[in-house]
Amino acid sequence: MIGIEGAADSEIALHYAPGGGAFIIGDALINFEPYGFTFLPAKYCSNQKQMRRSLRKLLDYKAERMLFAHGTPISAGATDRLRALLES
């Protein structure tokens, strides 16, 4: 369990290492149209800048897949997609 400060209260991400790894994300990241893969909108965050910094902790883990509370799963290259989002 990885705490994601700055998102909604008590936000967490779960990491599952076997099989290339997977993240299960609560609300801090979304992946649905018309937004695509992106951050939870600021109006739903307690501190969006803090949330973005906190999401960097996920880069310490390898994950091919990412599942969301809101949106279509990413089935390959999840860590690389997250890194690109955080660097944009």
Report pLDDT digits (tens) over 32-79.
999 999 999 999 999 999 999 999 999 999 999 999 998 999 999 999
d(C-alpha 81, C-alpha 87), whole Å: 10
Indicate the residue type of 40: L
| Domain map (residue ranges) of the chain | 2-87
pTM: 0.90
Burial 57-77 (b: 16+ CB within 10 A, else e): ebeebebbbbbbeebeebeee
End-to-end CA distance of the chain: 26
Helix or strand or coil: residue 41? Answer: coil
CATH superfamily, with its number, for domain 2-87: Ribonuclease Z/Hydroxyacylglutathione hydrolase-like (3.60.15.10)
Q: What is the pLDDT of residue 58?
A: 97
Q: What is the pLDDT of residue 37?
A: 97
